[in-house]
Structure formats: C-alpha cells, structure tokens
Amino acid sequence: MVQERTLSIIKPDGLEKGVIGKIIARFEEHGLKPVAIRLAHLSTREAEGFYAVHKARPFFKDLVTFMTSGPVVLMVLEGENAIQRNRDIMGATNPANAAPGTIRKDFATDVEKNTVHGSDGPDTAKAEIAYFFRETELHPYAYRR
Ligand code: CMP
C-alpha cells in the first residue's frame, strides 16, 4: 500500500459556487485525507510561479487572472495512490470531457473555471506541496471508526 501526498486546489469558482464542503466530502469518501488545509488569495506572482510550466501557453494570462480573482482552498491530500486517485475524482481538465460523477462534471463551468486543480505526477506533487506548505504544516492522522 503506497501512501502518497498530492496538492489539491479548490479554485475561485468552487468557492463562488459554495461547494467547498461537497468537494472535500468527495475526497474523504474516496479515501483521500486532507492533512493540510488553508484559504489563500493568491497574488499574481504566486499564481504565475505556480503555473510557470504553462507560461508559453495562450491561456496563461487568463489562467493567472482567474486564479487571482478570489480566494482558493489549498490542500494536501494523503492516501493510497493519492495522485492518480485525485485525478480520477476530479475528472478531465475540460468538464465537457469529464466522466459522470466527477467533480468537474458536476461543478465546473468550462476549461478555465474547472473548479479544482490536482498535481499530475510524483515530482509535481512534491514541488507543488512545497510551493504552498512547510513540512510542519502537514498533520497526518489515522481514522478510528
Ligand atoms: P489545472 O489542472 O489547474 O492546470 C492548468 C490549467 O489551465 C487547467 O487546469 C485549466 O483550468 C487551465 N486552462 C485554461 N485553458 C486551458 C486550455 N485551453 N487547455 C488546458 N488547460 C487550460
């Protein structure tokens, strides 16, 4: 059983739609445990740095504008196969292509306002978690139920 950690962001549209709780419930129902949670309103510099890999893409400027348009929820999710599991729960980047029952299918508006972000691999997860959280801000715990 490989325990992994991944970075999850509930984007500004998720907060505006009032679905923070529903989204976190889905993670918990699927065995992903939040071990760090914080609200933040990203600065332009923070959003540009976070999405630096997309700097050359035509949607970069709009992406940064959207991600700084309101607060977000930053989370570290922990669980078995957490990186891929989170991606499965989120659904395809473009909600038009997302499978039924996924977060993006149920809550997202379009490819920009797609409600959630999740790390796409082990190296990215490590870098993205470190971008927003110190090690001392991660608080693992066990279920007793
Ligand atoms: P995310 O998983 O946060 O990673 C990069 C984001 O760029 C992506 O989700 C989308 O919300 C956003 N984006 C905006 N336009 C596009 C596009 N045309 N193709 C891919 N991603 C896009």
pLDDT in tens, 99-109: 999 999 999 99
Q: Give the residue-averaged pLDDT of 71-85.
A: 98
Contacts for 100 with CB less than 8 Å, ≥ 6 apart: none
Closest approach atom of ligand 1 to CA 90: 2
CA of 1 to the centre of ligand 1 (A): 31
Q: Is 139 a catalytic residue?
A: no
Please state, rounded to an integer, the average pLDDT across all residues of the chain.
97
Neighbours of 2 (CB within 10 A): 8
C-alpha distances out from residue 15 to 3, 10, 73, 114, 130, Å: 28, 7, 8, 12, 23
**Model-level pTM greater than 0.95?**
yes
Mapped onto helix, strand or coil, the DSSP state of residue 99 is: coil
22 Cβ below 6 A of ligand 1: no
pLDDT at 74 over 80: yes
Q: Tell whether the torsion through CA atoms of 11, 14, 15 and 17 is positive or negative.
A: positive
Mutation test of ligand 1: which of 51, 111, 128 has the most ligand atoms closer than 8 Å to its C-beta?
Answer: 111
Give the chain's radius of gyration (CA, Å). 14
